[in-house]
Structure 1
Amino acid sequence: MARTSAAKTALPAPARRALKTLGADVAVARKRRRIPQQLLADRMLVSRQTVQRLEAGDPTVSLGVLASAFFILGFTSRLEALLSPQSDAMGMSEELARLPKRIHTPVADDLDF
């Protein structure tokens, strides 16, 4: 009997929906470029079933497979910018909240001639 991956069962519902949307978006991009699944699979060096799983939003598909699809479809820059620090509004607000309220001039103790 095949083992079921915990990635399929333990993934939160919003993350599952996001993967389904991402997979559907990959399928739309492929179709707009008029690339058959088999040709995309050949270019990615994976099986057609893997492309089908990617487009279905299967969470067990590797990040490398997704990155390969992004590269072939011309979306590498979007993958690079996915979690860039510049687009992390929550992280920036947390960082600003931790800044000190007052800044003091450092005391110069080093008067050793």
Structure 2
Amino acid sequence: MALARRRRKLPQRLMAERMIVSVQTLQRLEAGDPTVGLAVLASALHVLGMTQRLAELVTPDSDRAGISEDLSRLPQKTHAGSDDDLDF
């Protein structure tokens, strides 16, 4: 986060103002403090023009646990259907 801010030549004070948070909150976010809320992260990504990152977090393709659950529910064995099942 700090690198993205510095690449855009945004001082912490200005970035914090645009995010509507204190400089200390921005510093905690940049330091990786897990107590900083998701709304603060979303605000930072918005200010940096990186909101696509949020969309990527919730795409079904990135849900490893959900994919694993789906795979565990698949039948272990399958059987071939009769020729009557092939209704083309």
TM-score, normalised relative to structure 2: 0.77
Secondary structure (helix, strand or coil) at the match of 2:34 reads coil
Q: Which residue of 2 aligns with 1:102?
A: 78
Inter-partner Cα distance in structure 2 for 1:86 and 1:53: 30
Q: Distance in 1 between matches of 2:10 and 2:64?
A: 36
The offset of 1:104, in angstroms, is 9.2
1:49-76, CA deviations, whole angstroms, 9 ceiling, x for partnerless residues? 1111111111111110011001111111
Give unmatched runs, 5+ long, in structure 1. 1-25, 106-113
Compute the displacement of 1:93 (Å).
3.9
- In structure 2, C-alpha distance between the alignment counterparts of 1:58 and 1:83, rounded to whole Å: 21
Matched, 1:62 2:33: no
CA RMSD of aligned residues (A): 2.1
Assess, with a 3 A threshold, how the Cα gap between structure 1 residues 32 and 97 changes in structure 2: closer, same or farther: same
Report which stretch shifted further, 78-87 or 49-58.
78-87
Q: Report how far residue 91 of structure 1 moved.
A: 3.0
What is the aligned residue count?
80
Q: Does 1:28 align with 2:6?
A: no
